Structure 1
Amino acid sequence: MNPVSFDDAETYEPEAGWRRVAMAGSDRFSFEWFEKPPGHSSPMHDHENEQVCVCLDGELTVATETEEVRLGEFDSVHLESNETHRVENTGEETAIGLDVFAPGRSFDFWTDRE
């Protein structure tokens, strides 16, 4: 067993107000808790990892090149490997979510971007 304390977990803030916290995981899967301020959107991007995005609080809109879905509390969406997408907080309050990636990944995905 390998417990991870939220307060001691590795944290990364790609942009002001957009915080990601690495939770328990492995090379096969990883969990990232995140918060997004109102109006914030990640850039359109893709990655080799499949992704499940779960909205824990607030409102998130997940858009691909061809469709868009609004997630409310406890709603989720699955994104295929290499599917171009963005995640936006379309609500008026800070949104909290959880991303699950398979295979697992580190924050290098964001820190090594050009």
Structure 2
Amino acid sequence: MDHVAFDDAETYEPDEGWMRAALAGSDQFSFEWFEKPPGHSSPMHDHENEQVCLCLEGELTLHAEDGSSITLEKYDSALIESWETHAVENTGDERAVGLDVFAPGRSFDFWTDREE
């Protein structure tokens, strides 16, 4: 077994208040805990990985390239297919916390090596 204590997890803060922590995973899948301040949105993006986004606290709205959106409340989840362009926004008034599961697994290189 490979244990990752939350306090020892690798973290990354793409924007102020938007923090991600890499939890236990493998090449086949990875788990990223994240928090977003009110009003924060990731940029529209896509990736080769399938993604399940689970809302643990607050409210997260997933926006699609076609202009559609869905809002996740506590314990709601959504599947984002490979190469589906999307953004994740905290549309609530409080901090939002979520868990992303990616298959295949990925590292923070997705954000750090990204060209705008």
- Normalising by structure 1, we get a TM-score of 0.99
Query: Which residue of structure 2 lines up, in the alignment, with residue 56 of structure 1?
Result: 56
Deviation digits for residues 77-96 of structure 1 (CA, Å, limit 9, x no counterpart): 00000000000000000000
Query: Which residue of structure 2 lines up, in the alignment, with residue 35 of structure 1?
Result: 35
Query: Which residue of structure 2 lines up, in the alignment, with residue 65 of structure 1?
Result: 65
State yes or no: 1:7 paired with 2:7. yes
Report the number of matched residues: 114
* Runs of 4+ in structure 1 over 2 Å off: none
How far does residue 75 in structure 1 lie from its aligned partner after superposition? Answer: 0.2
Q: Distance in 2 between matches of 1:87 and 1:49?
A: 15
Q: Distance in 1 between matches of 2:43 and 2:65?
A: 12
Deviation digits for residues 45-88 of structure 1 (CA, Å, limit 9, x no counterpart): 00000000000000000011122100000000000000000000
Matches within 5 A, 1:94-105: 94-105=95-106
Which structure 2 residue ranges, 5 or more long, are not aligned? none
Q: Distance in 1 between matches of 2:73 and 2:109?
A: 29
Q: Distance in 1 between matches of 2:106 and 2:114?
A: 14
Which structure 1 residue ranges, 5 or more long, are not aligned? none
Identical residues among aligned pairs (%): 74
State the AA in 2 paired with 1:106. S
- Normalising by structure 2, we get a TM-score of 0.97
Query: Which residue of structure 2 lines up, in the alignment, with residue 17 of structure 1?
Result: 17
